[in-house]
């Protein structure tokens, strides 16, 4: 542990070390076994259900949404006002009033439809940022793990510099530098999370580098790339998946926080963090405008976290069962 002088130890390090040793070959049988183990984890199942639900609405958004997400009801529906309370006919809302399941927002748009469409935005944000961070992070981690002490030191110290900044602050600065757009916010969040994956990857590389079969492969003239592909990746893939799953939740939250501060998604795009940020001062006069996207945001992060936890529990043999 003391070899990480920057002091920025990845929170997942112990698990990683464990996993790196554990998951070796991936035969069909082993795969089926781990699938069974995953499904035996309650939290993983709940997480999967939540994520499945989110994917369903994201894919079917056009059919589920009752209105186009960016259309105002002003001048379309008689008497429509911004921030009208929810009107649901079966719950006693007069039939002559147009139905809006979650009411209208500050621009008199249907909140339910915006929430539904917002799930697309959030899922894309989560997957794309984490994927980008994993690709770059693994590359850095692999290089650092394989190459000399000097390059390793340089790379990992740069990762320490990145880690030493509180993530949101660094993202805040990056977004301001690049101009506040959703895409740039995603870049910022991706950059901020690179060090975690770099560390995971480097740990995996280090754990196998000195093992006999790798030394043997090297002696036989196998290229670094091949060693990486055949020997390291199978070991690294599990901790990367676990970290990545947990990271999706974090990424969604961080982009939402940037949106809340008005530095990410731009109007009129339906994005939950922006929806909360735009209407945060209406907490008392129109609480549904905050509760609805707040619940969805919580649910999304919860889903990925539960799944990530479940995966870890299932795939880490050192946890007592």
Partner 1 sequence: MVHQPRWLSLVAIAVVGMLVLVACTPATGPTASPAASATSAPSATAAPSDAPTDAPTDAPSDAPSDAPSDAPSESPDASETPATVGLQYPTDGGVVCRDGDTPGEFNGEEYTGNIESIQAPDDLTVVFNLCSPDVAFLQKVAFTVFAINDSGWLETNVPSGAMLTDMNGTGALQLDEWRAGSEILYSRYDGYHGEPSAVASAVLRWSAESAARLTELQSGNVHGITNVGPDDFETVANDPALQLATPEGGANLNTLYLGMNHNVEPWSDPLVRQAIAVGIDKQRLVDNFYPEGSEVATHFTPCAIEFGCEGDAFPEMDTETAIDLLDQAGFNEANPLTTTIQYRNVIRGYQPLAPQIAQDLQLQLADIGIVAEIEEQESATFIENSNQGLLDGLFMLGWGADYPEVTNFLDFHFGPGATSAFGDFYPTIADPLSVGNSTADPAARAAAYAEANSAIVAEVPMVPVAHGAFGNAYVAGVDVAQASPISNEMLARMAPPEGEEIVFMQNAEPGTLYCADETDGEALRACEQSMEGLYGYATNTSEVEPVLATGCEPNEDASQWTCTLKEGVTFHDGATFEAQDVITSFALQWDAANPLHVGSTSQFEYFPGLWGGFLNASAQPAPPE
Partner 2 sequence: MIRFIIRRLLVSIPVLFGIIFLTFLLARVIPGDPCLVALDQRANPQSCALFNARFGLDKAVIPGVFREDGQLVLRLEQLPATLLDNQFTAYLGQLARGDLGDSVANRKPVTQVLLERMPTTIELTIYALIFAITVGMTLGIASAYRRNSKADVGTMMVANLGVSIPVFVLGLFMAYLFAVILKDSPIALPPSGRLSAGFRFDTIPEAWGLTELSGPPRSILDFLSNMYTVNGVVTGQFNLAFDAFRHLILPAIALGTIPMAIIARMTRSSLLEVLGRDYIRTAQAKGLRPRLVLFRHGLRNAMLPVVTVIGLSVGGLLSGAVLTETIFGLGGIGLVVYESITGRDYVVIQGMAIMVAIIYVVVNLVVDISYGFLDPRVRLS
Minimum distance, C-beta of residue 168 to partner 2, in the bound complex (Å): 4
Residues 211-270 that bind partner 2 (CB under 8 A): 249, 253, 256-257, 260-261
What are 104's strand-pairing partners? Answer: 110
Chosen residue from 34, 97, 99, 107 binding partner 1 by CB under 8 A: 107
Stretch that binds partner 1, among 54-62, 88-96, 103-111, 220-228 (CB under 8 A): 103-111
133 neighbors 193 (Cβ within 8 angstroms)? yes
Alpha helices in the chain, H assignment, sequence order? 13-22, 28-39, 42-59, 61-64, 111-146, 149-164, 167-178, 182-209, 212-219, 224-227, 233-260, 272-279, 288-315
Residue with the two structure tokens 């996207």: 293
Which structure tokens are listed for 121?
């935005």
> Among partner 2, partner 1, none, what does residue 268 contact (CB within 5–8 Å per kind)?
partner 1
Could you tell me which of 135, 134, 138, 251 has the C-alpha nearest to residue 186? Answer: 251
Of these partners, partner 1, partner 2, none, which one is at the site of residue 301 (CB under 5 to 8 Å by kind)? partner 2
Task: Give which of 188, 160, 176 is closest to 255, Cα–Cα.
Answer: 188
Under rule CB under 8 A, which residues in 58-97 are in contact with partner 1? 71-72, 74-75, 81-83
CA 58 to each of CA 160, 224, 266: distance values in angstroms, whole numbers, following the listed order: 37, 41, 20
Give me Rg for the CA atoms of the chain.
23
Binding of partner 1 by 319 (CB under 8 A): no
Termini Cα distance of the chain: 27
User: Given the complex with partner 1, which of 215 and 285 has the nearer CB atom?
Assistant: 285
Q: List the one residue from 278, 296, 297, 310 that touches partner 1 (CB under 8 A).
A: 278
Biggest CA–CA distance in the chain, Å, is 81
- Paired tokens of 12: 């997942």
CA angle 182, 186, 192 (to 5 degrees): 145
Cβ-based nearer residue to partner 2, 232 or 288: 288
Total interface residues for partner 2 by CB under 8 A: 61
Q: Does 305 bind partner 2 (CB under 8 A)?
A: yes
Give the number of other CB atoms < 10 A from CB of residue 237.
15
In 3-state terms, what secondary structure has residue 87?
strand
Which one of 101, 140, 167, 289 is in contact with partner 2 (CB under 8 A)?
167
Mask for 171-210, x = binds partner 1 (CB under 8 A): -----x--xx------------------------------
Asked if 76 is part of the footprint of partner 2 (rule: CB under 8 A), the reply reads: no
Residues forming contacts to partner 1 in the complex (CB under 8 A) are 2-3, 71-72, 74-75, 81-83, 106-108, 149-150, 153, 176, 179-180, 262, 266-268, 278, 280-286
Residues forming contacts to partner 2 in the complex (CB under 8 A) are 1-2, 5-11, 13-15, 18, 42-43, 157-158, 160-161, 163-169, 172-174, 176-177, 179, 249, 253, 256-257, 260-261, 273, 276, 280, 283-284, 290, 294, 297-302, 305-306, 309, 312-313, 316, 318-321
């Amino acid at each position: 542990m003391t070899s990480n002088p920057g002091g920025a130890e990845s929170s997942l390090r112990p698990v990683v070390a464990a996993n790196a040793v554990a998951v070796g070959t991936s035969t069909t049988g082993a795969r089926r076994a781990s699938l069974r183990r995953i499904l035996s984890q309650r939290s993983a199942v709940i997480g999967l259900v939540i994520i499945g639900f989110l994917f369903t609405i994201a894919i079917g958004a056009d059919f589920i949404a009752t209105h186009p997400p960016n259309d105002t009801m002003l001048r379309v529906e008689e008497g429509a006002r911004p921030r009208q309370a929810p009107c649901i006919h079966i719950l006693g809302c007069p039939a002559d009033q147009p139905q809006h399941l979650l009411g209208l927002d500050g621009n008199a748009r249907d909140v339910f439809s915006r929430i539904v469409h917002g799930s697309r935005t959030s899922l894309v944000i989560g997957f794309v940022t984490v994927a980008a961070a994993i690709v770059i992070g693994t590359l850095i981690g692999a290089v650092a793990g394989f190459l000399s002490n000097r390059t390793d030191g340089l790379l990992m110290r740069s990762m320490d510099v990145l880690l030493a900044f509180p993530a949101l602050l660094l993202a805040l600065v990056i977004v301001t530098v690049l101009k506040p757009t959703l895409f740039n916010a995603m870049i910022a969040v991706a950059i901020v999370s690179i060090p975690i994956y770099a560390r995971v990857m480097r740990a995996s590389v280090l754990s196998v580098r000195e093992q006999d079969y790798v030394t043997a492969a090297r002696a036989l003239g196998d290229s670094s790339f091949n060693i990486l592909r055949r020997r390291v990746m199978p070991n690294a893939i599990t901790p990367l998946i676990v970290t990545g799953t947990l990271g999706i939740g974090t990424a969604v939250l961080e982009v939402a926080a940037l949106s809340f501060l008005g530095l990410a998604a731009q109007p009129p795009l339906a994005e939950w963090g922006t929806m909360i940020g735009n209407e945060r001062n209406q907490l008392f006069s129109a609480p549904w405008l905050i509760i609805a996207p707040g619940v969805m945001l919580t649910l999304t992060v919860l889903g990925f976290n539960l799944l990530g936890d479940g995966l870890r529990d299932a795939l880490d043999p050192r946890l007592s069962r």
